[in-house]
Every structure is written in C-alpha cells, then in structure tokens.
Amino acid sequence: MEYNEHGKLAPRTFFTYAPYVILNTTGLDPFVLDRSIEVILVKSEHTGTSPIAVGGDWDDLREQVHWFMETERVAILEHYNQAFPFLEGRSNEIWAPLEAIAKHLHKDKELLQVKSRLENEKNEEDDSPSKTIRVVLSNLVTHKDYYSAKEILEGLTAYDYDYSPWNEKRLGRQLKRMGLVTSDTKKHTPDGVMYWLAPAPSQTQKEVARHK
C-alpha cells in the first residue's frame, strides 16, 4: 500500500524480479534447479592453499619485504612474465608470484620442494567425492568405452561404504560437475545409464568428448 496522487492509500504492484547467483558444491534442490540456469565450474587439479597461522611482531620484516619489493620489482616481474604464458590450473597461478621471487633469489629448487610437500599433504587430506570418484575411475576405466553408472556406484561403495546411499542421479550430477560427462557422452539403456569415459579420468570432458 502507498499513497497515490490523491493522497489516499492504494495497492500498487512492484516489479520484484532479480537474478541470483547460488554457489555450492553439492548441487541444488530439484525444485530450485528446475527454475535455474546451471553453470558447472570444473575444479582444476591440485588447487588450493595451505595457510599457516603466524603471530608476533612483524613490523621489521614487513619493512624489509617492502624495501625488497620496491628495489627488485622489475626483475621479479620479468621472471613472472616469462612463466605466466605457460601456467595451467589455479594452484600454479597462486604459486607463480612466489616462484618468480624464488627464481630471482636462486631459491626456485627449494620452493619447488615446499610446493610439492604442501600439495601432497593437501591431497592426502582430501576426502571429497571428486577425489574418491577419480580414484575409483582410475581402477575401473582401462580403455575408452561406455561404463555403467551401476559399476561406478559399486566401486564407490566398495571404496567407502558411506557412498552406499548414492544413486545414478546423484552420481550423474557429480560427474557432470567434475566435467567428466555431458548429455552427449551418456546414454540410457535397459540396464541403466552409461557414460563414455577414457582411461585418464582427470581429463575434462572437452578431451573425452573427442570420440564423437
């Protein structure tokens, strides 16, 4: 209700449409999904960081870092620009500035060891569905062919019984989210859904789909 030009309260309609972006890693409720435009963002391999909490007075070190940045910036930027065209994956993009600094200081081998150790620790702690599915597929997919959702689900359950409640629909959503399947690389058969997969399950569907 609002006052109209005559000074009296009267009902008025309002245009209430507004686009929303919903981000999550588990998928949308079917009711919401039917009314949404789904965009799958494929996670790059070996992504993420391993932050370490620190404390203490860092003023002196901060000043040294600032001085170093001002005096060595041009040389470090040159190292960075040499590596940037060849970067692939979010993790490498995150590490690139540190690698440029390390290369300038002739400490790139030491940094590479630290990077490898931290990423291995992260991968060992990763118990996400994406990693579990990749492990199962690496054992199951021996050649390019169609593989049934049933045998993938059996492999998941054998690997970890917590996946026993999963069904074909949930598996399909996860495979699609990982970029391993599309509507063009799956088919429905009397025995259930089947997916075209290649022996390297870490590859994206852009590579897998070349069989078409």
pLDDT digits (tens, 9 = 90+) for 102-119: 888 899 889 888 888 887
Total length of the chain: 212
pLDDT band at 154 (very low <50, low <70, confident <90, very high): very high
- Tokens describing residue 126: 């990763």
pLDDT band at 123 (very low <50, low <70, confident <90, very high): low
H-assigned helices in the chain: 30-33, 59-83, 90-104, 108-125, 129-140, 149-159, 168-177, 205-208
To the nearest whole percent, how much of the chain has pLDDT over 70? Answer: 78
pLDDT of residue 62: 85
pLDDT of residue 151: 93
> Dihedral of the CA atoms 124, 125, 128, 132 (nearest 10)?
30
- Tokens describing residue 139: 């054992």
User: How far is Cα 78 from Cα 21, in angstroms, rounded to an integer?
Assistant: 38
Residues in Cβ contact with 170 at an 8 Å cutoff, skipping those fewer than 6 apart: 27
User: How far is Cα 119 from Cα 126, in angstroms, rounded to an integer?
Assistant: 10
- Tokens describing residue 196: 């075209």
Total Cβ atoms within 10 A of residue 18: 5
User: How far is Cα 178 from Cα 159, in angstroms, rounded to an integer?
Assistant: 19
pLDDT digits (tens, 9 = 90+) for 170-202: 999 888 888 888 888 889 999 899 999 988 644
Total Cβ atoms within 10 A of residue 90: 15
For the chain, the distance separating the N- and C-terminal CA atoms, rounded to the nearest angstrom, is: 59
pLDDT of residue 22: 77
pLDDT digits (tens, 9 = 90+) for 40-92: 776 665 555 555 555 667 788 888 888 888 899 898 888 888 876 666 666 77
Domains recognised in the chain with CATH numbers: 59-125 (no CATH), 129-211 (1.10.10)
Q: Give the count of alpha carbons within 13 A of 27, CB side only.
A: 16
User: Does the pLDDT value for residue 207 go beyond 80?
Assistant: no
Decide: helix, strand or coil at residue 193.
strand
The mean pLDDT value for 133-139 works out to: 88
User: How far is Cα 121 from Cα 50, in angstroms, rounded to an integer?
Assistant: 9
